[in-house]
Amino acid sequence: MKSDNNSVIAFTLKLLRKFQMLTFYPVVMDLLDHDSAEVRIQAVQTLLSLEDPSTINTLMKVYYDQPLEVQFEILRVMKISKDPCCTNLLKKELSDNTVSGIKVNAAEALFALGHQEYLTQQAQNEESSEEFIQIIKYALREKIC
């Protein structure tokens, strides 16, 4: 895990996922500060796989300190986990973030968490931009005409 070779670390993380080596959870958490975004992404995937109840809370704490591609992965993990504790972060990212991809991932995660009514209300808001409405409709799986 302390190798200078990112491929070695990525391979080790895959092994941890495959064999559910829960004792390495703290070591994997430390990799969220690694220099390589790819290693961080692999660490996020491994944390989800190790199924610790504190994972989503921990990811929410480090979310804003991560590079964009790692933030995408954290949002994807939140969608998969369906943990309701991340709802406020997802709503904030949907409404405040300027990156369309982040908005899309946040909307899809909210949809997965069962917040269809919230998304529908946001899409019907007269002050919402056309791009914002399209993002929400995409998350709701509606066709945009």
Compute φ and ψ for 83, nearest 5 degrees: -85, 120
Using the predicted structure, report yes or no on whether residue 143 has a pLDDT greater than 90.
Answer: no
CA dist 137 and 127 (Å) reads 16
Q: CB within 8 A of 128, min separation 6: which ones?
A: 122, 136
What's the pLDDT at 142? 58
Between CA 24 and CA 49 the distance in angstroms is: 12
CA distance 93 to 100: 10
Query: What digits encode the pLDDT tens for the residues 30-47?
Result: 999 999 999 999 999 999
Residue 58 has pLDDT above 60, yes or no: yes
What digits encode the pLDDT tens for the residues 11-33?
A: 999 999 999 999 999 999 999 99
pLDDT computed for residue 86 by the predictor = 97
pLDDT (tens digit, 9 = 90+) per residue, 60-103?
Answer: 999 999 999 999 999 999 999 999 999 999 999 999 999 999 99
pTM of the model: 0.92
